[in-house]
Amino acid sequence: RIYAADGNLFFARPGPALREGIAILARCAYDDEDVVREALDELSFLPKEGNGWAQVHFPAKAKKQSIPDVEDLVTGDTFFEFHQEACEANEDFYVDPTTGYNVFTEVAHKKRGKCCGSGCRHCPYNHVNLKDKTMIQQPAFLYEGTDNASGDAFISSLSSIPPNSHIKVLFFSGGKDSYLTIRKLVQQKLQSNGTDNFHLVLLTTYDFETKVIAHQDVNIDTVCRQARHLEIPLLGIPLHRSSGEEYLSRIEKGLDAVRSAIPDIKQLTLVFGDLHLEHIRQWREKELSKYSLEYPLWKVPYTELVDDLEASGVNIVVSASNQDGIGVGTTFSRTLWQDATKMGIDGFGEEGEFHSVAEVWTASKEQALGLKL
């Protein structure tokens, strides 16, 4: 159960309302015990629910099993269903439930026959003519790679990837774990002696309004900078937090954008930088079961991961933290990993204790990728 209360009135400062605050805490704690709850409700100084405190109830759609780190929030009036209904009725626009404005549907855009370059909410053309790619509202490539790579290179521009290729799509947050996953894929490729032919694409989800990647507190511009330095194509998937569209639906649209950009994909593999959290892996394997999934870092000892970070020459910086001893801006190092372990938390922040950003531009592309031996 989740409750919201007026912290300034009942908890944040000393005063007469502290008594009421304690009563509210007790009322919330014993809400499922009828006898205690009824006795507390008889207290004359306990504010009635709705008067400064209340239980938070979520829409039915949010009650299904989900992974909070990756699921988009469903809040308020949602335009996704309005848009679906309008498209089913073959209508050119619908009224946004929040703003009251008319919004063109995908049906209307398809009648136009091309992307207008305005960053429309329901653009079906992957925003191909939008100059400022940070303004995309639908999944689209934020960086397509450079054309100097040959078509047989696993790090290639979109235009140089040949038909019937194996595409590995790495879910990339910009942090150390997903960066280390790139290096592990490079190692696997080099050790395969040409038997594991694939091309790599990065996929990043982020908040449309703030342009920030959830939990990482990293702006999408930083991830674009990473992709440009490494010369790896980057697909952006903006999440509209009041759309009502579910996370998996957005991911599928993103993968459709990959299919549109690369002709006749032979195999599509989804790659994740998960280290050891079983419940997240189980969720992925249940919800994304129609795809081939890979976890290159799964249960790799932390000592090996730290060794590889040091070998990369890339500076890793803490971008978000809920630990007093680990400040934002601190360099992640062997010492920090050891100190975090001594603090009794996961040394890599796998439980959400802290997050990081890999400043890949602090090393050459070759060294950052592990191509320079």
**Average pLDDT over every residue of 323-338:** 94
Say what the pLDDT of residue 276 is: 94
Cα–Cα distance list, 341 to 286, 337, 353, 361 (Å) = 31, 6, 11, 28
What is the rounded CA–CA span in Å between residue 182 and residue 196? 15
Q: Is the pLDDT of residue 7 over 90?
A: no
User: How many C-beta atoms surround the C-beta of residue 266 within 10 A?
Assistant: 11
**Average pLDDT over every residue of 178-194:** 90
**Average pLDDT over every residue of 9-23:** 77
According to DSSP, residue 201 is labeled E
Query: Side chain identity at 26, as an amino acid letter?
Result: A
What pTM, to 2 d.p., does this model score?
0.77
pLDDT digits (tens, 9 = 90+) for 247-278: 888 999 999 999 999 989 999 999 999 999 99
pLDDT digits (tens, 9 = 90+) for 33-77: 999 999 999 998 898 888 888 888 765 544 444 444 444 444 445
Question: What end-to-end distance do the CA atoms of the chain give, in Å?
Answer: 53
More confident residue, 299 or 18: 299
- Percent above pLDDT 90 for the chain: 65
Query: Side chain identity at 186, as an amino acid letter?
Result: V
Q: Is the pLDDT of residue 17 over 70?
A: yes
pLDDT band at 18 (very low <50, low <70, confident <90, very high): confident
Residue found by looking up tokens 């934020």 in the block:
142
Q: Is the pLDDT of residue 302 over 60?
A: yes
pLDDT band at 363 (very low <50, low <70, confident <90, very high): very high
**Average pLDDT over every residue of 101-109:** 93
pLDDT band at 320 (very low <50, low <70, confident <90, very high): very high
Q: Is the pLDDT of residue 219 over 90?
A: yes
More confident residue, 219 or 73: 219
